Amino acid sequence: MSSTMQVLTYSPDLLDSIIKDIEGEAAKNAARKIIQCFDTEGFTIMIQHIIPAKSCAYYRVLCFINKSKETVSINTKNSNNDNIDMKIRIENRNTFDKMDEFTENIRNQILNAIDCHYCSDKCEGKKYQFTFRGNEYVKCQYLDCNFRFPKITEIDIASIMKIINDELLPCDK
């Protein structure tokens, strides 16, 4: 038996259901703020209800700036079905110049993200290259591999929202 997926239309009522499915108050607050930010700014939000064959159902929320690739992906459960799985595509490279403004937890999750292994010709010119405190970093550009934030505390929410707002700032809807 395979998993099934339903695509749902975003609404504030559906947001409440999605938030209830997330473990932990900090993760709930972060997800709510991110989704409401994209909604307020008029960007596309896609909701998928995933029903796997062998584990618990969960929601996947995809927030788009550019219609062809998501900026944020939030799974209400991770692969172990026990916590949020949040991924953020950081296109605004100036974000890496602001690392000292982020909480230690968020900064460490960015620095410890998967390194680029040049798995595709598409990596050239798109990989995340930056220097932080004298160390060079080259991170994978693919959303499934790059900046994941599975462990969020209340004090991390401001850092996450700073990243999101920096992504939205230069964009046209």
Mean model confidence pLDDT for the chain: 86
The whole-angstrom separation of Cα 73 and Cα 85 is 8
Task: Give a yes or no: residue 134 inside a domain.
Answer: yes
User: How does pLDDT run across 120-138, given as a tens digit for each residue?
Assistant: 777 776 678 899 999 999 8
Residue 38: give the domain boundaries. Answer: 4-168
Q: Could you give the C-alpha distances from 143 to 11, 70, 73, in angstroms and in order?
A: 25, 8, 8
Residue reference for tokens 């969960």:
58
Task: Give a yes or no: residue 136 inside a domain.
Answer: yes
The whole-angstrom separation of Cα 126 and Cα 67 is 18
Does residue 77 have a pLDDT over 70? yes
Task: Give a yes or no: residue 138 inside a domain.
Answer: yes
What the block records as the tokens of 60 is 């996947």
Task: Give a yes or no: residue 173 inside a domain.
Answer: no
Does residue 173 have a pLDDT over 60? no
For residues 31 and 117, which has the higher predicted lDDT (pLDDT)? 31
The burial of 143, by beta-carbon neighbours within 10 Å (0-12 exposed, 13-18 middle, 19 or more buried), is given as middle
CB neighbour list of residue 99: distance below 8 Å, 6 or more residues apart = 107, 110, 111, 132
Task: Give a yes or no: residue 43 inside a domain.
Answer: yes
Q: What is the model's pLDDT at position 119?
A: 73
User: How does pLDDT run across 18-32, given as a tens digit for each residue?
Assistant: 999 898 899 999 999
Count up the domains in the chain and report the number: 1
Instruction: Tell me the residue type at 172.
Output: D
User: How does pLDDT run across 98-111, given as a tens digit for each residue?
Assistant: 999 999 999 999 99
